[in-house]
Structure 1
Amino acid sequence: MSFQQYDFIIVGGGSAGCALAARLSADPANRVLVLEAGRPDYLWDVLIHMPAALTMPIGNRLYDWKYESEPEPFMNGRRIYHARGKVLGGSSSINGMIFQRGNPLDYERWGADPGMKTWDYAHCLPYFKKMENCLADRDDARGGAADRPRGGAADRHFRGHDGPLELERGPVTNPLFGAFFEAVQQAGYPLTDDVNGHRQEGFAAFDRNLRRGRRLSAARAYLHPVLERPNLEVRTRAFVTRVLFEGRRATGVEYARGRGGELERVHGGRVILCGGAINSPQLLQLSGVGNADELSALGVEPVHHLPGVGENLQDHLEVYVQHGCKQPVSLQPQLKLWRRPFIGARWLFLRSGPGASNHFEGGGFIRSNEDVDYPNLMFHFLPVAVRYDGSAPAGGHGYQVHIGPMYSDARGSVKIRSRDPRVHPALRFNYLSTEQDRREWVEAIRVTRDILGQPAFAEFSDGEISPGPAVETDEQILDWVRRDGETALHPSCTCRMGTDEMSVVDPASMQVHGVEGLHVVDASAMPYVTNGNIYAPVMMLAEKAADLLLGNTPLEPDHTEFYRHRKTV
């Protein structure tokens, strides 16, 4: 059923948009419309539902917006490719399926900013718990009990058990994972029961957004179970071109529908932008909300001068430290083209085998120096040597660690370059632009080499493939990062919450400062990127924002104590 007037128009059927659609439409009195520019997430689409196929949608125009940065001045002028989901479920339909909340001290940092006290960890923890279903034990994949919370006793107070996001713990049965976990301990780092629990610092099997061998995207977890609601409508291939205003009140949106691109308008009481850290600031700027001088120079009539729109861009850069493996235990044979039909058939009919895992099954978080209060490095271990997008696999058996600093002080921007909404905005991340960033990169590589050089890997390692033994000095390491670094696909913070003049979103209502009826709920609203994959923080933010938008009493803060490296007085 189509309404003439909606209570909520959600622009973007990605991670946050799906969660909001489910929560806002739970009240039958609310008429909710979701406009998603991408295609439906068809149930038969193996490329987005088979976990091991995660590399295939990346770079494919049918699933990926295929963004690219401007020449990065501190990365040898390279343009850094950025995949973003162009399908219902957004990037949760094409990401690596790793579920990491970030460190509790990330949210203490959020809450310390002016006006942000209700976004500290105690206020965010109840929403993490609300969205999670962690009933499965960590040993589920090995046939363990399925009715016990995971992790140690302390972690059970941190995890949710009734939410829509079912989480599977990585089985980490490959012997290379065993060597990795032994090596980190030999290097002096701890194991932890649960990186999303009481203590993030350390190494463990990872939580993953999988359900019985199938990707569990935000669309599959939140949206599809409620699609039959008569007050909820979802339109795919609906490309929103601008927000409509009467004065400074948002009254609806204009969008191009289908392949023909005919422009249509739809009106609503409130418009919620959920396009992510690139599209949301782009749409605000196209609609006249942003730096008035820059918009006027492009022929966009300003509606409200808000200079913070598109600023404060943050991301995680990463590299792969790769080793050859002298034992035939890696996943390299699964990369052969002739094996794919067999892997696909086993997954399709049995939901098992190599196709049923994302293979990012374990890793961890550590501090690279004593100046930081909580982990600034994240490790993903992969029992094969291959790039994230599936390209340029190293010859023969191998394994690798994905590594990079987690809270760089580099800042970039997203700025439109045309009034045409189909022209991608200019993205500049400024990777490696600060002294802190460069110092922590050198530390990251040296720490990684120390771990991979421990005795636990002696029976497996056939030598370092990348960067290779010729890369040794600090400057050689940085030169390699400039040549080889890739985004970890965590763009964020371009419409940040706050109350100062460079903030964009009111933390108490998620409304854009200076206008009415227009809200932003996605990764762009984060004030600082968290130290991990950002899907879980985005979903938490959406859950909390739903209560703010509905005027519900927020969940009571949960002051359960978490691990701190430095004890507070």
Structure 2
Amino acid sequence: MKSPDYIIVGAGAAGCVLAARLTEDPGTQVLLLESGGSDRRLTIAMPAAIPFVYQNKALGWNEMAGPEPYLAGQMIDEKRGRVLGGSTSVNAMIFNRGNARDFDGWAAQGLSGWGWQDVLPYFRRMENFAEGASPTRGGDGPLKVARANAAHPLFEVYMRSGEQAGHARPADHNSGDQEGMHIAQCTIGNGRRWNAAQAFLRPALGRPNLALKTGVDVVRILFDGTRAAGVLLSDGTRLEASREVILAASNIGAAKLLLLSGVGPADELRALGIPVVLDQPHVGRNLENHPGVNLQYAARREDTLVSQLGLVGQARLGLEWLLFRRGLGASNFFEAGAFVKTHDGADYANLQLEFLPLARRVVNGKVTVFPGFQLWMDLSRPHSRGFLRLRSANPADAPQIVFNHLQHREDQLDMIRAVRLARELFAQPAWEGIRGAEVNPTADLQTDDDILGWIKSAVGTSYHPSGATRMAVRPQDGVVDVDCRVHGLEGLRVVGPGVMPRITTGNLSAPTYMIAEKISDVLRGRRAI
């Protein structure tokens, strides 16, 4: 394609949706560009192989966030997929739409068309929910979503302990009634990871109006005045778009590319010798993530999933999955969770929990398991904000990423409350005879100061960066408008988690798919479905 209608940068959740939906119109030509290579790997396809995917540096951007000033300069690993399917090829496959009030909150900021009732049709359109269609769930979309089997006995113990602690158990936490304990829903279909490439892109690749190029690095957007005319590749190739350039290169990737192209805070760009196309101080700001910690308990080996993961168990897991696409190999292990309030004053759930019937630690850079169980707890709506800046004008250099985790006192208090809430959960009668010693943070840490000290040493993230190209009605408040067009420029959109004006309560893949579904209709002149 010499001059396609659209050049889409990034073949992750947003890019695959846009490429598939736009080329449903045979008169529309799309060129999709992806920095990474093929997703056809057993470790990607097998849900249980998540640790191997995480540790494979060839599948990611290998970025670190920090030094984090409120965590004593700690550096935090950030996972972001550099492969066909993007982060949907390396994530934990957990499907959470977010809270209905998240989207109503977007609309309350003046972002018309982004309230819960506005976006629900797009959530329905994209999914094929294993339990069938309903007024709130989709039954024939490309993305397979299923409730986890949660066969290990500890999952039911966990669910029962939540009920004993007074938490609700909604029938479907993705239908608007989110708060309480739940069995996880996952993007796993036919026993394999159902990523963006499998769901959206592959069925569309036979179309003559869609071209895909992998292994190419876009280093700059080309402008004709204030209009985005195309992109420049690292080998010097210039590609032109007759209608628009769409940045679907993740939150970090999209912000970085805008900055490299001269769209961002003018003083920072000039200091790096980058010609300014548009002075937009919000590019790279408003950076959010979901910071969290793991609470861990010891338990007898035979009571935990570790008993099934010896050499014989691993061989059985692999063989059963290869032959039948079932068994433990078809599980992501994160099969039960919850959305809860850290305190009664919270307007709605602000803490996400993910339970594992085993305990994990990193030894010499590798994930190992030990007999026990653990609970990941992250702040769903943190108050702290960070930033992303270029270190240099060299596209090969990773940007500086600082989330400012726990900068806000309320975030510190919420993490302390989270630890106390989790301890209360594991103190319930359901755990009698199963619960061993508290391994992390250890039971002797009881005061707020002691608990906070441990939290600051143990904080990680759920790999959910968002907001660096936030949506806002006015350019003085954000980077893109309600249709994801970059304020002040023509022919340029950003589509992905970066446009979220406020991070959602849950994992980000589902709302990212939704955003792309909605914008695909905008581009096709279909304002509502």
TM-score, normalised by the number of residues in structure 1: 0.90
Q: What is the aligned partner in structure 2 of residue 560 from structure 1?
A: none
- What is the alpha-carbon distance in structure 2 between the residues aligned to residue 334 and residue 433 of structure 1? 41
Residue matched to 2:101: 105
Question: Percent of aligned pairs with the same residue?
Answer: 40
Q: Secondary structure at the match of 1:461?
A: coil
CA shift, 1:88, in A, is 0.3
Cα distance, 1:255 vs structure 2: 1.0
1:167/1:209 contact within 8 Å kept: yes
Q: Does 1:182 align with 2:147?
A: no
Please tell me the root mean square deviation across aligned C-alpha atoms, in Å. 1.5
Whether the aligned pair in 1 keeps the contact of 2:355 and 2:374 (CA below 8 Å) is yes
Contact 1:327 1:460 in 2 (8 A): no
SS of the aligned residue for 1:266 comes to strand
Distance 1:394 1:317 in 2: 22
- 1:364-383 mapped onto 2 (5 Å cutoff): 364-383=338-357
C-alpha distance in 2, partners of 1:40/1:542?
22
Partner of 1:33: 31
Find the partner of 2:383 among 392, 397, 409: 409
Match for 2:411 among 427, 437, 454? 437
Match of 1:542 in 2: 516
Aligned residue among 70, 76, 88 for 1:92? 88
Q: Within 1, Cα distance between the matches of 2:310 and 2:47?
A: 17
In structure 1, what is the Cα distance between the partners aligned to 2:30 and 2:180?
42
Asked whether the equivalents of residues 334 and 354 of structure 1 are also in contact (C-alpha less than 8 Å), the reply is no
Q: Pick the aligned partner of 1:130 from 104, 125, 131.
A: 125
1:490-530: CA deviations, max 9, x gaps? 000100111230300011x2110111001000110111110
Give a deviation string over 1:36-56, Cα, whole Å, max 9, x none: 0001112xx111110000111
Per-residue deviation at 1:70? Answer: 2.1
Kindly report which structure 2 residues correspond to 1:525-540, keeping only aligned pairs within 5 A, or say none.
525-540=499-514
Q: Could you say what secondary structure the match of 1:80 adopts? A: strand
Correspondences of 1:167-566 after superposition (within 5 Å):
167-256=145-234, 262-268=235-241, 269-326=243-300, 328-336=302-310, 339-387=313-361, 391=366, 393=368, 395=370, 397-500=371-474, 501-507=476-482, 509-555=483-529
8 A Cα contact 2:301 2:307, kept in partner? no
- Deviation per CA, 1:438-484, whole angstroms, max 9, x where unpaired? 11111111001100111101121112111111221111111111111
What is the deviation of 1:117?
2.2
Task: Give the letter for the 2:82 counterpart.
Answer: K
- Summarize the alignment of residues 1-150 of structure 1 with structure 2, pairs less than 5 Å apart: 3-42=1-40, 45-114=41-110, 116-134=111-129, 136-137=130-131, 148=132
1:259 aligned partner:
none
Q: CA deviation at 1:363?
A: 1.0
Shift of 1:388: 8.7
SS class of match (1:160): coil
Distance (Å, rounded) in 1 between the aligned partners of 2:503 and 2:37: 28
Q: Work out the CA distance in 2 between the residues paired with 1:474 and 1:434.
A: 16
Supply the distance in 2 between the matched residues of 1:47 and 1:173 (Cα, whole angstroms). 22
| SS of corresponding position for 2:228 | strand
Tell me which moved more, 528-537 or 370-379: 370-379
Measure, in 2, the Cα distance between the counterparts of 1:108 and 1:419. 39
- Structure 2: 5+ residue runs without aligned partners? none
> Given residue 451 of structure 1, which amino acid in structure 2 is its aligned partner?
L
Cα distance change of structure 1 residues 193 and 391 upon mapping to structure 2, 3 Å threshold: farther
Report the Cα offset of residue 333 of structure 1: 3.6
In the alignment, the residues of structure 2 paired with residue 266 and residue 548 of structure 1 have an alpha-carbon distance, to the nearest angstrom, of 24
CA distance in 1, matches of 2:167, 2:199: 35
Q: Aligned to 2:359, what secondary structure does the other structure show?
A: coil
**2:100 counterpart letter in structure 1:** P
Pairwise CA distance, 1:263 = 2.2
Distance in 2, Cα, partners of 1:529 & 1:194:
21
Contact preservation (8 Å) 1:547, 1:554 = yes
**Match of 2:63, as an amino acid?**
Y
The 2-side partners of 1:516 and 1:285 are apart by 16
Partner SS state of residue 55, structure 1: helix
Corresponding residue of 1:567: none
Q: 1:109 to 1:77 in 2, by over 3 A?
A: same
Following TM superposition, by how much is the alpha carbon of 1:334 offset from its aligned partner in structure 2, in angstroms? Answer: 4.5
Task: After TM superposition, give the deviation of residue 199 of structure 1 in Å.
Answer: 1.0
Alpha-carbon distance between aligned partners in 2 of 1:166 and 1:486, rounded to the nearest angstrom: 29
Instruction: Compute the displacement of 1:435 (Å).
Output: 1.1
Tell me if structure 2 keeps the 8 A contact 1:133–1:166: yes
Judge conservation of contact 2:485–2:494 (CA < 8 Å) in 1.
yes
Question: How far off its partner does 1:340 sit?
Answer: 3.6
Contact 2:99 2:176 in 1 (8 A): no
Contact 1:245 1:251 in 2 (8 A): yes
Q: What is the distance in 2 between the residues matched to 1:551 and 1:93?
A: 30
SS in 1 for 2:433: coil
For 2:68, what is the secondary structure of its paired residue?
Answer: coil
Deviation at 1:122, TM superposition (A): 1.2
**Larger mean Cα displacement after TM superposition, 410-419 or 465-474:** 465-474
Gaps of 5+ in 1: 138-147, 150-155, 257-261, 556-569
Number of residue equivalences:
526
CA distance in 2: counterparts of 1:13 and 1:96, whole angstroms? 18
Contact 1:306 1:502 in 2 (8 A): no
Name the CA distance, whole Å, in 1 between partners of 2:498 and 2:127. 22
Report the TM-score, using the length of structure 2 for normalisation.
0.97
Which amino acid in structure 1 is aligned with residue 139 of structure 2? H
Q: Deviations over 1:312-359 (max 9, x none)?
A: 000001111111122613221454466544422221111112111001
- Note closer, same or farther for the CA distance 1:444–1:388 as it changes in structure 2 (3 Å cut): farther
